[in-house]
Each structure stands twice: as structure tokens, then as C-alpha cells.
Chains A and B, each alone.
Chain A
């Protein structure tokens, strides 16, 4: 049984994990770097252990240092949060060797999902669709591939990169000439004429499914849409993913469960999909074998504490829920408040927070380590906190987001608050179901609403 939990993370997620652990009567040990000695998690924890100096490479990312601190603190389990060592197999191994429970999946799952190519083949074994495609050494092979992938498709040079030799084909009639062209260009540019034929998803959405498993059974807790991204960094998330036809949505959810069951997955995980915004065809991208930043939107629509379930199954207990007990109710949205000056090229804005004001009220949840005076050290990422709003439907959640955002005030920091106000007012976002191109050119448009 977990009695002493070492939290090997920082920022809002360390506070988030601590809250559930303390509610469950578990003694918490905050493992902090020198820069975080006076952070909120250090104030709230039952005990505090210094892992190492401020730079992550010497503290939160240092397998030896974190393991040694957990052993010295007599921890019986370690929660890794997200990022840092949360998906690091050698960390899980080091803990196992020290007789400490890793609150995360088995080593086998970490290995299977850790490598992108291996994850793709494991997902295919489990019967999940992947972005169709494959290598072709000759024109004949390329034609065969094209017949399988369908249109539109992309022809890429196997040896290529940077878009060289890349051809988009919308119509089978163009295929032959484009294959010849692509092979000739590939040969000229890379000395290798082999090409790769892949289905092209013009308008893709990033949709993911939360899964929970205990090694025997797996269930899903609905979908999340994370299509609003800047440079592959998520800015806004919502649950459930809006505007997907019911049959496609159900197929997506059961595909995720199929993968979790195939892996004999134990813990909380997220199966990410690329969803075609027009046809709603979906393709497996990857699986994150840890808690996600955006997990609170799932908690909001299910009423389930994901950290509690993680601790439960890490302890070897069966899942506390059956699929038929999971009811998805209402709609939730999360915005990430980053300490960045978004009007100056998203320049980082570390520094002291003199005072912090966050919204409060029904349907409002704030996950932050900066709920009062504090500091954003320059060593780590810029997440200052998350605002999660909930409503009976998407419109109600959005209305709450719009009224709650202006209340946020982190004195001393530049934040992305007003960027989120602009997103919340954007007609495309209001309509719902935007694709990942949403942010392209967003900043150049005049502000609306």
C-alpha cells in the first residue's frame, strides 16, 4: 500500500498530485530543485526533499538524483507527473531496483510506446488504423501503395527531408507523372530514387482518448480535442471533442481501448489520433503513457479523479470503475496560461509574481502553483497555470470561459491571457471543431469580438 509518495515534478502538476494524495491520507514528499525550495508544492507537502541544483538536467531530469532522493526519503512510491522522467524507462527500472513503485505503466508498455515506429506497429497489431502509407522502390510498387492509401496522397523521397521531392496528388490521373517526377527529383537531390507514398490529411484535427487500465481491463473516459496548437504546443483543450459523428466517435473510443487492452495497460494513458476534419477518418499517432496536462477536462466531464485511479492501480488494485459506469456529462474547456509575452513572439516572461488573482465560482477550476505570490524561475517551462471551465454544454462552458478570463491577473508577469480571450471570441472556435491549422495566421488577423 502506498503510504509515502514522492512527487518527482514541479509546478502546477506537483500541486495537483499532492492534493489527491493528501486527500487519500498519503504522506507526501515534494522532491524539489534548489530553485523550487519555496514553491507552493514545497509549502504544502508533508516533507520536502532537495533533488539537486536548479537546472533540470541536474535535478528533475537526473535519474540518479531523483531515485536517490526518493530512497533517502523512504518513499514507497514515486509519481512522476508529466514531462521530465514520466516516460523514462530507465527511471522506472531504477525505482524498481530500489523497491519503489513507479506510478506509471509497466516497463513493457513504456518500451512499446516509447519508440514511434514500434508504437505504430504495435497499434497496427491491435487493429488500429495508422496513416496509410509505405515505401515504394518502383513505379509499380508506388501504384500499388496508392491504391491502398487512397487520395489525396503525398509522395515523399525516402531519403529526403525539408519538403524536397514532395508531391501532392489529388487525382489518380496525375499519379503516373507525379511518381516519375518525384523519383527523378529524389534521385537528383539525394542520390536515391526510393519514394514513400502516404495518405494526405489536408484538414487534420488532434483528438485523443483518455484510457485507464489495471493490467487486466481497460476503459476509456471519453475524448479530448487539442487542435489549437502553436508549433505543436497545445494552447486550448476541450472534452468531449466537438462535432464528430456519433458512430465515428464511438469507433475512436473503442480503438483506444483496444490498444490499451492489447498492451495489458496499467495506469492512465492517452491515445492520440489524427482525425480528418472532413471525412472523420482517424489514424493512430502515438500513445502517451502518463498523465496529460489537459487531464482536468476529462475529470470535469466524468467526475473521476485520474490521479486517484493512477495511485490505485499502481498499488496493484483493480480499477474502481467499469465502462458502463462512466457517464460523460456536459462540456469542459482548458486554457493554458503561459508566462509568455505572446505579442512579442511569445517571449518567455519569468520573474516574481507579486499577487495572483484567478477566477472563482461554479464550474471554474484553477490548477496552478501560482495562486498567490510566487516565482516563475527561468529554468523550466512557462506554464503558470490552467483555467478549466465546465458547463452543461459547449456553449455554456464557452460563456463561462469568456467571463472568467478577464479576472486573471498575475501581477509581474506577461501571460497568454489575452491571447485566450481572442481565441474564445474567434468565430471558428465558437463554432467548434477547428483543425490544427487554426493558429496559422491567427495573430495576423484583426482581433474580433
Chain B
């Protein structure tokens, strides 16, 4: 419940910095059962002399279950391209769509001829629709990525046999 919590507000952190600033110390490392806070004076770089804060939080009431790292949700096809095929990979993690909208014909099908500029799919990342271009002229060999699934960056979306 709320009463056994230790909350540090922005004002509390500011006060810690003010105290440290007038002392010979450059760093404070505070650990509780709930968090670890490090307040430190930057030693190098452009921010040298400025104070920073970094936190680590214990898990608390978080739901059980393995940390679902989004970056590995979809299997990454790491097949070799020694068969002469060019893999068109996702530049960003996101949801891969084969068609411009549900029910519409797919951008490309196996056997289609493409140029470097041909759009072969869309990857939706953080509300933005990013068109995926073939990048090479040739014939679509296969489309290993399924429609409307999450893909990791680098996942092979489409394989193309260069012309």
C-alpha cells in the first residue's frame, strides 16, 4: 500500500543534488527494496560537471511471465543468400503488411517482376507506415514473412531473384 512506499519527487532529487553540490562527493548510490538511484556528477564529455540521475526499479506487482522482448517476437530468417537470392529485410522492428489495406491485393506476389523502386510491403513502426522497397530489380521468389505480424529489424520479408 501507499504508506510503505518511499517516493522521491523531483524536488527531493533536486535537494540531494544541492547537498552533494556543496560537498566533496561526486556520487550518491541509494538502494531500497524498491529502487536504486544513482546521482552523479558527470566526469567527462560535454556534460562534465552537470549532475545526472539514473534509476533501476524492482519488479513490484508486475505480471508474471517472461519479459517479452519485442525485438524477438518474430522469428528472424537468417538464411544464407548463397542461392543467389537477395533478401529484403525490415529496417526497423514493426508490423509487416503485404497489402496497403485489409482486403486489398498484395503489393507483390511470387513471380512478379520488380524494380528497385517497387514497394513490396509496409512496416508499421510507432504509428508510422514505412514503405519497403525492393531495392533491386528482379523477380519475387518468395515472401517468407507472414502478413500482419510483428517482425524484428533484419527479418527477411521478401526474397528476390535479381534480374
Contacts from A to B (Cβ < 8 Å): 19, 22-27, 30, 32, 34-35, 37-38, 40, 42-48, 50, 54-55, 339, 347-348, 350-352, 355-366, 371-373, 375-382, 403-404, 406-407, 409
Contact among A26, A44, A360, A378 with B52 in the assembled complex (CB-CB below 8 Å) = A360
Residues A378 and B17 in contact, CB atoms below 8 Å apart: no
Query: Which residue in chain B gives the minimum CB-CB distance to A29?
Result: B61
Can you list 30 A-B pairs with a CB-CB distance of less than 8 A?
A19-B7, A37-B65, A37-B68, A38-B67, A42-B60, A43-B61, A48-B61, A55-B95, A339-B126, A348-B92, A348-B125, A350-B70, A351-B71, A357-B52, A359-B50, A360-B51, A361-B13, A361-B50, A362-B14, A363-B14, A364-B14, A365-B10, A371-B54, A378-B125, A380-B126, A381-B126, A403-B50, A404-B50, A407-B51, A407-B52
Query: Which interface residue of A25, A55, A352, A379 has the most chain B CB atoms within 10 A?
Result: A379
CB contacts (< 8 Å) of B93 on chain A: these are: 350-351, 378
Query: Residue B58 at the A interface, CB < 8 A?
Result: yes
Q: How many A-B contacts at CB < 8 Å in the complex?
A: 148
Minimum CB–CB distance from B145 to chain A (whole Å) comes to 15
**Chain A facing B: main interface SS:** mixed
CB contacts (< 8 Å) of A363 on chain B: these are: 14
Contact among A34, A350, A362 with B125 in the assembled complex (CB-CB below 8 Å) = A350
In the bound complex, what is the Cα–Cα distance between A355 and B36 (angstroms)? 13
Minimum CB–CB distance from B43 to chain A (whole Å) comes to 12
In the bound complex, what is the Cα–Cα distance between A406 and B14 (angstroms)? 18
Contact among B7, B39, B68, B150 with A360 in the assembled complex (CB-CB below 8 Å) = B39
Query: Residue B3 at the A interface, CB < 8 A?
Result: yes
Residues B45 and A350 in contact, CB atoms below 8 Å apart: no
Query: Which residue in chain A gives the minimum CB-CB distance to B57?
Result: A43
CB contacts (< 8 Å) of B71 on chain A: these are: 351-352
Known: A43-B59, A381-B126. A407 touches B54 (CB 8 A): no
Of residues 81 to 101 in B, which have CB atoms within 8 Å of A's CB atoms?
92-95
Minimum CB–CB distance from A334 to chain B (whole Å) comes to 13
Residues A45 and B60 in contact, CB atoms below 8 Å apart: yes
CB contacts (< 8 Å) of B68 on chain A: these are: 34-35, 37-38
Query: Residue B2 at the A interface, CB < 8 A?
Result: yes
Known: A25-B3, A348-B125, A381-B127. A43 touches B14 (CB 8 A): no
In the bound complex, what is the Cα–Cα distance between A97 and B52 (angstroms)? 47
Minimum CB–CB distance from B67 to chain A (whole Å) comes to 5
Known: A54-B70, A352-B69. A26 touches B2 (CB 8 A): yes
Query: Which interface residue of A25, A371, A382 has the most chain B CB atoms within 10 A?
Result: A371
CB contacts (< 8 Å) of A381 on chain B: these are: 126-127
Residues A22 and B2 in contact, CB atoms below 8 Å apart: yes
CB contacts (< 8 Å) of B14 on chain A: these are: 360-364
Residues B52 and A359 in contact, CB atoms below 8 Å apart: yes
Query: Residue B104 at the A interface, CB < 8 A?
Result: no
CB contacts (< 8 Å) of B95 on chain A: these are: 55, 378-379
Query: Residue B163 at the A interface, CB < 8 A?
Result: no
CB contacts (< 8 Å) of B78 on chain A: these are: none
Residues A375 and B70 in contact, CB atoms below 8 Å apart: yes
In the bound complex, what is the Cα–Cα distance between A266 and B160 (angstroms)? 59
Query: Which interface residue of B10, B58, B92, B95 has the most chain A CB atoms within 10 A?
Result: B10
Residues B126 and A382 in contact, CB atoms below 8 Å apart: yes
Residues A22 and B53 in contact, CB atoms below 8 Å apart: no
CB contacts (< 8 Å) of B150 on chain A: these are: 54, 378
Minimum CB–CB distance from B29 to chain A (whole Å) comes to 13
Query: Residue B63 at the A interface, CB < 8 A?
Result: yes
Query: Residue B107 at the A interface, CB < 8 A?
Result: no
Would you list the 4 A-B pairs with minimal beta carbon distance, nearest first? Answer: A360-B53, A365-B10, A406-B47, A348-B126
Minimum CB–CB distance from B152 to chain A (whole Å) comes to 9
Query: Which residue in chain A gives the minimum CB-CB distance to B46?
Result: A406
Minimum CB–CB distance from B116 to chain A (whole Å) comes to 19
Minimum CB–CB distance from A350 to chain B (whole Å) comes to 6
8 further contact pairs, Cβ within 8 A, besides A38-B68, A43-B59, A361-B51: A38-B62, A40-B57, A45-B60, A54-B150, A55-B95, A371-B57, A404-B50, A407-B42
Query: Residue B128 at the A interface, CB < 8 A?
Result: yes
